């Protein structure tokens, strides 16, 4: 059990410039004294659950989390028994085996398209926008940032009319629809969410797009693809399956074809996420390090380019939060779910803002690389 009680928690918050009952927007207001005990026994899991239960509040949760991260308070909370147990389970078992592959689809993506339609941009892109040169506060900024990201991916892959593209983790078909419309390519999309597949098929009706409810490990193509893309899906693969993912992509890609891998990551190799995120948001998820991605691709792919723009996830998440907050009255979710979602979006924004977690786009070539070299696109 962690050596935390009310005096220790208060001191931890004060070291981060956060006052219990203070007047600043990042200050904490305790509604139930049991919060201290829950933090002591459950660490970050207890912090999140206590917020969901209304035991504490904060006007600017993202700024509070930002201060805690910068002060190292999250590291102390991450040494709780639930966090240690999750790391042990992640080392001993494959939490994202084929049998478990559809769990995250049912738990996170099948909760209802209505929430995502209200929260996301017009194209329903559920990954980091590309805000380069854009106003992060202006009206329509999220739509523009997501369209810029989709076009960036297409240009990095050098898409040409008639190419065959495999989209691993296609979501609601945002990339598939964009690439088919703008670049005239055929796209096969894979998802483990029934809700995503249904909406993606409706959105892409009439286009050269095929969306399948299938795990990447089970998919066997009829012929090689010219390009492979995976945007915001590698975080669900799990550290024990990184190599299997790369082998599946390698199997589907023609020699010297290109793959773009877009993933959130961490600067240090870990085996699991935190227990609150695991329980409530992304079960069995894992954020890789560049070392883990590199080991998985070793001998299969030639690394042509790495582009990091994790700083753009902060405005993306804050835009999602703003959209969700205006939509709650029209959506069928209770207060505990709303607080859970708020905690998820705002603490994630703080993590990117403080560079605790990052975002990379890797461009790989199958085999020996692009003849004459690859020209990076930004």
Q: What is the pLDDT of residues 259-292, one digit of tens each?
A: 999 999 999 999 998 999 999 998 888 999 999 9
pLDDT of residue 138: 72
> With 90 as the cut, is the pLDDT of residue 82 above it?
no
CATH 3.30.450.20 at 100-366, yes or no: no
Q: How confident is the model at residue 91 (pLDDT cuts 50, 70, 90)?
A: confident
> With 60 as the cut, is the pLDDT of residue 101 above it?
no
Strand pairing class (301-308; 253-265): unpaired
Q: What is the mean pLDDT of residues 22-39?
A: 95
DSSP E strand boundaries for 140-205: 164-168, 186-191
Other CB atoms within 10 Å distance of the CB of residue 27: 20
Secondary structure of residue 62 in the 3-state scheme = helix
pLDDT of residue 280: 94
What integer best gives the mean pLDDT of the chain? Answer: 93
Q: How confident is the model at residue 2 (pLDDT cuts 50, 70, 90)?
A: very low
Distance CA 34, CA 353 (A): 30
Distance CA 220, CA 214 (A): 10
Q: What is the mean pLDDT of residues 137-148?
A: 90
pLDDT of residue 213: 95
CB 166 within 8 A of CB 228: yes
pLDDT of residue 1: 39
Determine if the pTM surpasses 0.85: yes
pLDDT of residue 40: 84
pLDDT of residue 291: 98
Secondary structure of residue 323 in the 3-state scheme = helix
Distance CA 55, CA 276 (A): 16
Q: What is the mean pLDDT of residues 76-104?
A: 77
Rg of the Cα atoms in the chain:
21
pLDDT of residue 87: 86
pLDDT of residue 109: 72
pLDDT of residue 4: 62
Q: Residue for token digits 């102390």? A: 76
Secondary structure of residue 220 in the 3-state scheme = coil
Of 148, 151, 179, give the one whose Cα is nearest residue 165. 179
**Crossing angle, helix 34-52 and helix 335-353, to 10 degrees?**
100
Distance CA 270, CA 51 (A): 26
pLDDT of residue 81: 87
Other CB atoms within 10 Å distance of the CB of residue 76: 17
Q: What is the pLDDT of residues 295-313, one digit of tens each?
A: 999 999 999 999 999 999 9
> Could you state, in order of their start, the residue ranges of all structural domains in the chain?
6-79, 100-366
Q: What is the dihedral of CA 157, 158, 164, 169, to 10 degrees?
A: 20
Distance CA 293, CA 362 (A): 9
Q: What is the pLDDT of residues 174-196, one digit of tens each?
A: 999 999 999 999 999 999 999 99
Residue 130 in tokens: 């590309």
Q: How confident is the model at residue 229 (pLDDT cuts 50, 70, 90)?
A: very high
Q: Phi then psi for 101, rounded to 5 degrees? A: -60, -35
Distance CA 60, CA 289 (A): 29
Other CB atoms within 10 Å distance of the CB of residue 224: 15
Distance CA 231, CA 153 (A): 9
Of 289, 291, 262, 287, give the one whose Cα is nearest residue 363. 262
pLDDT of residue 284: 83
Q: How confident is the model at residue 13 (pLDDT cuts 50, 70, 90)?
A: very high
Strand pairing class (301-308; 358-366): antiparallel
> With 90 as the cut, is the pLDDT of residue 343 above it?
yes
């Amino acid at each position: 059990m962690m050596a935390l009680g009310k005096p220790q928690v208060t001191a931890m918050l004060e070291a981060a410039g956060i006052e219990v009952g203070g007047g600043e927007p990042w200050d904490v207001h305790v509604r139930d004294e049991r919060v201290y005990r829950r933090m002591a026994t459950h660490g970050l899991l207890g912090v999140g659950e206590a917020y969901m239960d209304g035991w504490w509040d904060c006007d600017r949760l993202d700024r509070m989390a930002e201060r805690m991260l910068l002060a190292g308070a999250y590291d102390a909370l991450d040494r709780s028994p639930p966090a240690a147990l999750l790391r042990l389970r992640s080392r001993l078992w494959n939490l994202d085996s084929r049998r478990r592959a559809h769990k995250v689809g049912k738990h996170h993506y099948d909760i209802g398209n209505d929430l995502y339609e209200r929260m996301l941009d017009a194209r329903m892109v559920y990954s980091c926008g590309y805000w380069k040169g854009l106003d992060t506060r202006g009206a329509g900024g999220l739509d523009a940032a997501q369209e810029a990201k989709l076009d960036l991916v297409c240009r990095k892959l050098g898409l040409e009319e008639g190419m065959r593209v495999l989209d691993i983790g296609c979501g609601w078909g945002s990339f598939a629809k964009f690439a088919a419309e703008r670049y005239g390519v055929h796209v096969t999309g894979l998802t483990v969410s029934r809700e995503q597949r249904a909406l993606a098929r409706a959105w892409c009706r009439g286009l050269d797009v095929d969306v399948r409810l299938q795990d990447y490990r089970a998919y066997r193509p009829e012929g090689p693809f010219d390009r492979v893309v995976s945007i915001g899906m590698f975080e669900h693969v799990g550290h024990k399956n990184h190599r299997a993912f790369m082998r599946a992509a390698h199997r589907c890609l023609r020699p010297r074809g290109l793959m773009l891998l877009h993933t959130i990551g961490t600067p240090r190799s870990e085996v699991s996420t935190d227990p609150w995120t695991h329980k409530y948001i992304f079960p069995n998820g894992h954020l890789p390090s560049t070392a883990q991605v590199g080991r998985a691709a070793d001998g299969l792919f030639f690394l042509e380019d790495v582009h990091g723009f994790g700083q753009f996830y902060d405005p993306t998440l804050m835009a999602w939060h703003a959209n969700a907050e205006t939509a709650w009255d029209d959506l069928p979710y209770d207060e505990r779910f709303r607080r859970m979602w708020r905690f998820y979006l705002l603490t994630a924004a703080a993590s990117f803002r403080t560079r605790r977690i990052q975002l990379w786009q890797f461009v790989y070539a199958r085999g020996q690389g692009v003849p004459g070299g690859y020209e990076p696109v930004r």
